[in-house]
Amino acid sequence: MADVLPLVDARLRTALGEPDARAAVTFLGVDRVEVLRFREGDIVRYATLGMSAQPMSDPTAVLADPVKGPRAELLLSVRPGDADTDKVLRPLAVLAASPQVEGVVVAPGASLDVGGPLWPGAPFTSVLVAEPGGLVEDLDLGEPLDPVRFLPLLPMTPNEAAWKRVHGAQALQERWLTNGTDLRDPSRRSVPLD
């Protein structure tokens, strides 16, 4: 079976160009996770590399299947401005390691909380996992492996995260769309939720 990560790295480069920076984070007992930074005009994109090395498994399963199961990497796009968004590297690596550490399956519609600001001064402490396929196409690995999906992350304020728990991911995304919310603004305010 081919090593998945070089294929994922190649797909990211094809879709986003050459990264201008990369950082690696290693957690005890977990595979190394890299975060790559790509610049496109005034947008900075951060992509994880390492989450897809192992398939995510159902936390209720007795044994994790080493071959079958969903695989994913995470993507975050921001317009940095004055915000020190490069400090998001460690929180992104923590989120990418969560399937191995906590046994969770990261899928569209899920909320992921980092327990603090995504970067210094950020009004966001969690992200909404969005549908894949827009920015980076899924990477087909061939049978019996599941494809690697590149999941966009949408930063949420604590109020938005609480509202999403009650009303659902679709309702929050519709609220953002209705209000013309710039989800790439690193210092945006919470969308009106009343």
What is the Cα–Cα distance from 48 to 59, expressed in whole angstroms?
22
Predicted confidence (pLDDT) per residue in 118-177, tens digit: 999 999 999 999 999 888 999 999 888 899 999 999 999 999 999 999 999 999 999 999
Predicted confidence (pLDDT) per residue in 47-71, tens digit: 999 999 888 876 666 666 667 889 9
**Percentage, residues of the chain above pLDDT 90:** 64
* Rounded alpha-carbon distances, angstroms, from residue 103 to 57, 68, 83: 7, 15, 32
What is the Cα–Cα distance from 183 to 181, expressed in whole angstroms?
6
The letter for the amino acid at 17 is: G
What is the Cα–Cα distance from 2 to 6, expressed in whole angstroms?
9
The predicted model scores a pTM of: 0.92
